[in-house]
Amino acid sequence: MLDARELAIGYGATEIGSGLSLSVKTGDILCLLGPNGCGKTTLFRTLLGLLPALSGQVLLGGKPITAQRRAEIARQIAYVPQAHAPPFPFEALEVVLMGRTARLGTFGQPGQRDRETALTAMRKLGIGDLAHRDYSRLSGGQRQLVLIARALAQEAPLIVMDEPTASLDFGNQVQVLAQIKALAQEAAGAGHGVILSTHDPDQAFALDARVLLMKDGRTRAEGSASEVLTGENLSDVYGIPVTVETTGSGRRVCLPSLGRQSAPTMTSDAFTMA
């Protein structure tokens, strides 16, 4: 569905990343990991066609994304931004209904069927009762779920999520992750392809996702979570000592060591800079 080949990404003359390739189809979960400023958001914007690639190509449904109209793109790939507060107090259902825009004509209005699609999406995420609540007054977790419902209402096979668990409490994080997993695993053919970014490598283990580990705008490693998320790779990318251990139940967890906090790397950095 989505293929990116040898992308160079950035703004105008400023190149932020290069040599980035990835491929996602329905049923996949691809997890983008990397330190702040490594180019995850810029990559997302490029994949969504919001920012032109400096070189390389994004193919969506086999066609270059640059050759497609906005509505055409939106019918194939949905974007879930970080939970935000819009300037006006729309009802949650109205926000979800905005996901239907790509299926309406330029002068079109969402009709009864669109409302039903939107409500179905909300119920699927267990937030049907929020439909008539003021979106701007919902909690961060509820808003994030509303935005995911909007992506579902968009009925696009691919969903891009920018740090969907940032600013959520522990319980909401788990809920959102569970929904993401369920979205990808839906019954034959109906599953979504999900690309998400996160700051928590444990989430990639929990989702059993494929991982693209980025550093300084380049791919550091790519593959299954257990292949990529090794103590060595994580220590290198984040610049802190990390070990990966397996719990009694067989789940892998990342354990940063706070005691010897980054002393070696910091010192070596300092020497390099001097």
Partner 1 sequence: MGRGTTADVGLRRPVLSLTSVLALCLAALAFGAVMIGPFALSPGQTVMALLGQGDAQASIVVWNIRVPRVAAALLVGAALAAAGASYQALFRNPLVSPDILGVSAGAGLGAVAGIFLSLPVAAIQASAFVGGMAAVGFVTLVASMVRNTDRTLTLVLIGVVIGALAGAATSLLKVMADPYDQLPAITFWLLGSLAAITTDDILPALPMVLIGLVPLALLRWRINVLSLGDEEACALGIEVGRIRFLVIAAATLITASVTALAGVVGWVGLVIPHIARMLVGPGFGRLLPVSVLIGAGYLLIVDTLARTIAQVEVPLGILTAVIGAPFFVWLLARGRRGWS
Binding-site ranges for partner 1 (CB under 8 A): 11-12, 45, 48-50, 69-75, 78-79, 81, 85-91, 93-94, 98-99, 101-102, 104, 106-110, 112, 115-116, 118-119, 128, 132, 134, 136-137, 154
- Residues 62 and 1 sit within 8 Å (Cβ to Cβ): no
The distance of closest approach from Cβ of residue 31 to partner 1 in the complex, given in angstroms and rounded to an integer, is: 20
Rank residues 50 and 255 by Cβ distance to partner 1 and give the closer one. 50
CB of 54 to partner 1, least distance (A): 15
Radius of gyration of the chain (CA): 20
Q: Shortest distance, CB of residue 64 to partner 1, whole angstroms?
A: 17
Q: Is the dihedral of CA 223, 225, 226, 231 positive or negative?
A: positive
- Smallest CA-to-CA distance from 212 within 200, 199, 225, 203 is with 225
How many whole angstroms separate alpha carbon 76 and alpha carbon 145? 20
How many other CB atoms are there within 10 angstroms of residue 262's CB atom?
16
Counting every residue written for the chain, the total comes to: 274
> Under 8 Å CB-to-CB from 178, ≥6 apart: which residues?
none
DSSP secondary structure string, 24-42?
E-TT-EEEEE--TTSSHHH
Instruction: Report in angstroms how near the CB of residue 212 gets to partner 1 at its nearest.
Output: 21
Print the SS3 string covering 139-162. CHHHHHHHHHHHHHHCCCCEEEEC
CB closer to partner 1 out of 48 and 242: 48
CA-based angle 105:111:112, to the nearest 5? 155
